[in-house]
């Protein structure tokens, strides 16, 4: 039926003056139209293949059951949490070092990089949604979306909801300075450095031990 319609149209265009020229122009228009349709179909096919390929291997984020929080300083506590931690380290280290043979009076200064870190258990739920969209040219694309929801796991403790703590990470010590009587002796100095390394888990290059001046 389409062939008969085209044949009649060609007969109508071919009649009269410049009929052959009109016929040739009409055929060129048909050819250009077919080429344009072919190009649009090819582009749509390429877009679909490209988007499908980009979705291959996509996986939701790794599920994590824990989050990390850092303790904040408490107002009115007489100092920040950093200072409280440093003072505690200093007092404990001073007491320990003064028990070493050959060590006299000791002053200690400790600096930390962070406060204690608490790792809490978290209930994590991941959802994935795949949608297919079609544009005006008939091209299709696949869109993958991920959503993560999480809630800290708690337990009832005397009527209060208390989070479940899975790990406590101690503050990391940045540096230690020791002024000690007897540190002029290399053996005693070595004992002090070794004790701090093992007690505070600090590398030797972060430890400075100097002798106290004679009174």
Helix axes 2-14, 19-55, angle to 10 degrees: 140
DSSP-derived secondary structure for 97-134: HTTSTT--SEEEEEEESS--EEEEEEEEEEEEEEEEEE
The CA distance from 202 to 196, in Å, is 7
Which tokens belong to 193? 């450095």
Alpha helices, DSSP H, located in the chain: 2-14, 19-55, 81-97, 186-200
Phi/psi of residue 120, nearest 5 degrees: -105, 150
How much is the pTM?
0.47
CB atoms within 10 A of CB 26: 16
Q: pLDDT by residue (tens digit) across 123-176?
A: 677 777 777 777 777 777 777 777 777 777 776 767 777 777 777 778 888 899
Quote the pLDDT of residue 8: 62
Q: Where exactly are the structural domains of the chain?
A: 2-55, 66-211
Tokens 């290059």 correspond to what residue? 205
Helix pair angle (81-97, 186-200), 10° resolution: 140
Question: How many Å is the Cα radius of gyration of the chain?
Answer: 40
Q: What is the mean pLDDT of the chain?
A: 73
Question: What does the pLDDT look like over 167-212, one tens digit per residue?
Answer: 777 888 889 999 999 999 999 999 999 999 999 889 999 999 999 9
């Amino acid at each position: 039926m389409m062939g008969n319609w085209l044949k009649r149209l060609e007969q109508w265009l071919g009649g009269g003056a410049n009929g052959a020229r009109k016929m040739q122009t009409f055929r060129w228009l048909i050819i250009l139209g077919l080429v344009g349709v072919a190009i649009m179909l090819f582009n749509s096919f390429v877009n679909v293949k490209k988007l499908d390929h980009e979705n291959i291997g996509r996986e939701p984020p790794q599920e994590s059951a824990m989050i990390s929080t850092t303790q904040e300083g408490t107002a009115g506590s007489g100092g920040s949490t950093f200072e409280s931690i440093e003072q505690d380290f200093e007092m404990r280290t001073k007491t320990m070092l003064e028990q070493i043979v050959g060590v006299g009076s000791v002053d200690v200064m400790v600096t930390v990089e962070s406060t204690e870190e608490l790792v809490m258990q978290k209930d994590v739920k991941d959802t994935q949604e795949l949608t297919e969209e079609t544009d005006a040219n008939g091209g299709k694309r696949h869109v993958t979306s991920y959503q993560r929801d999480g809630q800290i796991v708690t337990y009832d403790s005397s009527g209060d909801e208390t989070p479940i703590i899975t790990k406590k990470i101690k503050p990391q010590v940045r540096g230690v300075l020791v002024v000690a009587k007897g540190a002029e002796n290399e053996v005693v100095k070595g004992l002090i450095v070794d004790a701090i390394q093992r007690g505070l888990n600090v590398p030797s290059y972060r430890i400075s031990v100097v002798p106290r001046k004679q009174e």
